[in-house]
Amino acid sequence: MKSERDDEMYSIELMVEEHDHILELLTVIRKACCGILEGQEVDDGDFRKMIAFARNYADKHHHGKEEQILFQEMTKRLGQIGVNLIQHGMLVEHDLGRLHLSNLETALNQYRDDPKTIYKLNILAEAAGYANLLQRHIEKENQIVYTYAEKNLTQDILQSVDERVQEFEKNAQQAKTQETYLQMLRELKEKYC
């Protein structure tokens, strides 16, 4: 049975739901990579859509809420454990994800300009690397980080996090972030899943 405190954690429930969408993208990425291994051509446009979703929905939108709101409170209020968990764990992995996306984009550009096997290999390596990293990262956040935050942040801080996340969401809705990228994800899933 949920406690009152759990019922009020809108922000955590929302972030877990966003993780589900990101996991769907990771399935698309893996299926696109498998298709290439099975002889299909590299679909440059689809990979660029995957990058756009990852950068704008997974990173800017989802990680934006974590980094600007929840993680700041955790590092500020949960002592060395909070600092280690966030600064030396989650934020490092966010940066590694960004590196994979940047390297994937470079590999796509190289392959488009000069379709050599090495560039195709780099596309597969960076795409699969991103998918594997984010899968493990999401599991850690869902099972450890969010749970730790809910148990150890005070009720007033959790309420403040929720209020700021709601404001963040409202601004994103006005910019049509969710609508745009979830529609893009649906189209990719129809093709690859």
Position 5 pLDDT exceeds 90: no
Structure tokens at 100: 């994979």
Position 2 pLDDT exceeds 50: no
Which residue in 57, 58, 28, 47 sits closest to 110, CA to CA?
Answer: 47
Q: Provide the total of helices (H) and of strands (E) in the chain, helices listed first.
A: 11, 0
Structure tokens at 187: 């189209």
Q: How confident is the model at residue 9 (pLDDT cuts 50, 70, 90)?
A: confident
Q: What is the mean pLDDT of the chain?
A: 95
- Select the CATH number that applies to the domain covering 4-192 from these four: 1.10.3720.10, 1.20.120.520, 3.30.870.10, 3.40.50.300: 1.20.120.520
- Averaged over 87-116, what is the pLDDT? 98
Rounded CA separation 8/12 (Å): 9
Instruction: Give the pLDDT of residue 39.
Output: 98
Structure tokens at 16: 């877990």
Position 68 pLDDT exceeds 90: yes
For 157-185, what is each residue's pLDDT tens digit? Answer: 999 999 999 999 999 999 999 999 999 99
Q: How confident is the model at residue 3 (pLDDT cuts 50, 70, 90)?
A: very low
Burial of 95 (0-12, 13-18, 19+ CB in 10 A): exposed
- Averaged over 40-61, what is the pLDDT? 98
- Averaged over 64-88, what is the pLDDT? 97
The residue extents of the domains of the chain are 4-192
- Averaged over 40-46, what is the pLDDT? 98
Instruction: Give the pLDDT of residue 1.
Output: 30
- Averaged over 54-81, what is the pLDDT? 98
